[in-house]
Amino acid sequence: MTAYKWQVRMSGTGGQGIISGAIMLAQAALNDGFNAVQSQVYGPESRGGSTKSEIIIDDEDIFYLKVVCPNVVLLMSPEAYKKYGQDVLPGGMVLLDSSIAKEALPADALIYALPMIEAARTQVGNELVANTLALGALIALSDMISIKSMEEAITERFAAKPKVLDVNLRAFRLGVEMGMAAK
């Protein structure tokens, strides 16, 4: 059984910034001194459809590139919830947007439902930053990596666009608060 420290699966709908969020998470893990690999699965269509990205984080070399059974799962759409929410390891964590029903998730997982999409829309003013908000909540709930490294990774990704950076950092910090409160 593969026993990498963090086997993270992030999933949602094409256009939600799932892969972008996954790249930032992997960069943040490297900033913290871990090894990390990030890959994704997507279909031939360019928009819509479900998107899945996987990130493996460990102290040692990472050989096999796919998550065998995730211990951290993010679900941002009903379709992702149906396809990718079921094989979480016992004791693993599932974070889902509270717009999604949660009856069918494994009973032995820690399940957190937070209104991430709504908070991005109403409190940050842009639904498109629900992905960075979700990163904040994920990190606060899991302690996978440091908040500092995550902020560095977000800053690096949007360095050329100060306004976009600002809204993403606000979303991330709100996500951290929401995660802390739910813990």
Partner 1 sequence: MSKVKLIQGNVACALGALAAGADFYAGYPITPSTEIAEFMASRLPKIGGHFIQMEDEIASMGAIIGASAVGHKAFTATSGPGFSLMQELLGYAVITELPLVVVDVMRAGPSTGLPTLPSQSDVQQARWGTHGDHAIIAISPASVTETYFETIRAFNLAEKYRTPVVLLIDEKIGHLRERFDVPDDFVPKIINRKTVVDKKAQYVPYENTADLVPPFVPLGQGVHWHITGLTHDEKGFYSSNPQVVDKSIRRLSAKIEDNKKDICKLETVFTEDADILLVAYGSVSRTAQEALNQLRAEGIKVGLVRLITLWPFADEEIAKLLAGKKAVMVPEMNLGQIFKEVDRVARGVKVFAQSRVDGDLITPAEIVAKVKEVL
CA neighbor of 14 nearest in space, from 74, 95, 76, 73:
76
Identify which of residues 13 and 99 has a Cβ nearer to partner 1 in the complex.
13
Identify which of residues 39 and 99 has a Cβ nearer to partner 1 in the complex.
39
Identify which of residues 43 and 48 has a Cβ nearer to partner 1 in the complex.
43
Residue 142 C-beta: closest distance to partner 1, Å: 19
Binding site for partner 1 (CB under 8 A): 1-2, 23, 26-27, 30-31, 35-44, 62-66, 68
Identify which of residues 19 and 93 has a Cβ nearer to partner 1 in the complex.
19
Residue 65 C-beta: closest distance to partner 1, Å: 6
The amino acid sitting at 58 is D
Q: Are the C-beta atoms of 88 and 109 separated by less than 8 Å?
A: yes
Please give the Cα distance from 123 to 106 (Å, whole number). 31
Identify which of residues 60 and 103 has a Cβ nearer to partner 1 in the complex.
60
Residue 40 C-beta: closest distance to partner 1, Å: 7
Residue 35 C-beta: closest distance to partner 1, Å: 6
Please give the Cα distance from 104 to 124 (Å, whole number). 30
Residue 135 C-beta: closest distance to partner 1, Å: 15
Which residues have C-beta within 8 Å of that of residue 44, sequence separation ≥ 6? none
Render the burial of 100-121: b for 16+ CB within 10 Å, e for the rest.
beeeebeeebebbbbbbbebbe
**Cα atoms found within 13 Å of the Cα of residue 120, Cβ hemisphere only:** 26
